[in-house]
């Protein structure tokens, strides 16, 4: 079973109770849990981040982590796998050995990045993380508020983590727009604003918007988005 928490692209953050049910369900099915936590701790809503590994006594968990998101160095492309397996199930079944064999045939990140990671993890102050979360939280508030002013875009859930929000297009309010891809192409051409069409993540006629940009640029981007939607609104 694979989970992504905090979620990309919806910005959802699973509660302790929900993750507990995930662990129990996986145990009953006799399967492991792979938990993608590259946005771990990047939360700013009411739900705190809970690592799936805390339920490892119930079910074996393989955690995916990354330095690129929480430390805001996306170009480094550096991540890790952690086995949470106090009962030794992954070890005894050969899964750990298989992972190590695969790593031996894959390309590695640059050695200077590998050398820097331990120091970065050990020496980064808590204030750095709280500052990043505060900035993202304020940007999410701005994003959610601006969306309310655009009738043809609906945000069903305010993001509580990661750097993205998913919004639904109401094409019945627009003229000359065929679908989400057409919307994004014309928005880029007319307003130089780029958002991801939802079909790229399997959600047709939705949009993925990132708010991990400068606040002033975010304000300008939403003003241009609003003008674009007004220009294409049905009269």
Residue that is written with structure tokens 């983590």 in the block: 161
In angstroms, how far is CA 26 from the centroid of its own chain? 23
DSSP state of 199: G
Report whether 59 contacts 32 (CB < 8 A): yes
- For strands 79-84 and 61-66, give the pairing: antiparallel
Helix, coil or strand: residue 228:
helix
DSSP string, 92-155: HTTHHHHHHHHHTTSPPPPHHHHHHHHHHHHH--HHHHHHHHHHHHHHHHHHHHHHTT-TTEE-
pLDDT score for 30: 96
Q: Which two tokens stand for residue 16?
A: 């302790």
pLDDT score for 134: 95
What does the pLDDT look like over 9-47, one tens digit per residue?
A: 999 999 999 999 999 999 999 999 999 999 999 999 888
pLDDT score for 74: 85
pLDDT score for 77: 82
Per-residue confidence in pLDDT tens, the chain, 235 aa: 999 999 999 999 999 999 999 999 999 999 999 999 999 999 998 889 999 999 999 999 999 999 999 999 888 888 899 999 999 999 999 999 999 888 878 777 788 888 888 999 999 999 999 999 999 999 999 999 999 999 999 999 899 999 999 999 999 999 999 999 999 999 999 999 999 999 999 999 999 999 999 999 999 999 999 999 999 999 8
Report whether 49 contacts 6 (CB < 8 A): yes
């Amino acid at each position: 079973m694979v989970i992504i928490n905090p979620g990309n692209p919806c910005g959802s953050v699973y509660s302790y109770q929900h993750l507990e049910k995930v662990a129990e369900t996986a145990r009953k099915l006799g399967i492991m849990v792979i938990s993608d936590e590259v946005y771990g701790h990047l939360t700013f809503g009411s739900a705190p981040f809970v690592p799936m590994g805390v339920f490892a006594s119930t079910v074996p968990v393989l955690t995916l982590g990354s330095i690129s998101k929480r430390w805001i160095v996306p170009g480094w492309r550096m991540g890790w796998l952690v086995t949470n397996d106090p009962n030794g199930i992954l070890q005894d079944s050969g899964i750990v050995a298989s992972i190590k064999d695969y790593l031996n045939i894959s390309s590695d990140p640059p050695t200077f990045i590998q050398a820097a990671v331990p120091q970065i993890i050990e020496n980064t102050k808590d204030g750095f993380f709280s500052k990043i979360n505060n900035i993202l939280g304020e940007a999410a508030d701005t994003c959610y508020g601006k969306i309310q002013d655009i009738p043809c875009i609906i945000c069903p859930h305010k993001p509580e983590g990661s750097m993205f929000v998913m919004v639904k297009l109401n094409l019945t309010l627009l003229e000359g727009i065929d679908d989400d891809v057409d919307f994004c192409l014309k928005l880029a051409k007319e307003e130089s604003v780029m958002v991801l069409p939802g079909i790229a993540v399997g959600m047709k006629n939705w949009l993925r918007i990132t708010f991990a940009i400068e606040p002033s640029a975010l304000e300008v981007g939403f003003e241009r988005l609003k003008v674009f939607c007004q220009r294409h609104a049905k009269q």
